Amino acid sequence: MTEVVVFHHAHGLTSGIEAFVTGLRQAGHTVHVPDLYEGHVFETLEEGIDYARRTGFGTVADRGIAAAEQLGSQVVYAGFSLGVVPAQRLAQTRGGAKGALLIHSCLPVAEFGAAWPSGVPVQVHGMDEDPFFAGEGDLDAARELTAGTEDAELFLYPGKQHLFADSSLPSYDPVAADLLVSRVIRFLDGLR
């Protein structure tokens, strides 16, 4: 059993994120999923981003950091898009991280330090034509991270959808999402 904390994307804590978490729990893992939006869920990505902007992107990330501080340090940090910010920050800066799952996004490693921490495995997942992931620098950051890190994997899925792993959204791609989940579970099982 691996302990995981999952940070949601800009739509909020959707039923699709809950379904993803349920799948990890059914695979035998302990999963925490803090609500960074304090109960708010948005139908469109634009509405969710607007909420994060009004609240403050830093405030949203800080809510994730605070939630993780309530847990032990031997945790895998997982984030979906906006949730990658606290996940990657914690994986890079909080000692004892067991691993990181960066889904739909990846920040340059230099954002949180000079290098990815030794001994912290990481997976990055995104679609190869996603305008956010491939078009805004995340794919470049993911390639840099995986090229310079011993235990790092980049998984590219064919398509243009951003939040393809959330079953509650129109962007959901069941084939890609199932493959992502199987890779995530394999990753987590390997950390037991």
Rounded-to-integer distance, Cα 111 and Cα 115, Å: 10
Give the model confidence (pLDDT) of 49-89 as tens digits.
Answer: 999 999 999 999 999 999 999 998 899 999 999 999 999 99
Q: Which CATH superfamily is domain 3-189 in?
A: Alpha/Beta hydrolase fold, catalytic domain (3.40.50.1820)
Q: What percent of the chain has pLDDT over 90?
A: 93
Alpha helices in the chain (DSSP H): 15-26, 45-55, 57-69, 84-93, 138-147, 174-189
User: What is the pLDDT at residue 25?
Assistant: 97
Hey, which residues does 5 pair with through a beta bridge? 32, 77
Domain boundaries along the sequence of the chain: 3-189
User: What is the pLDDT at residue 113?
Assistant: 82
* Residue 105 pLDDT > 70: yes
* Residue 151 pLDDT > 70: yes
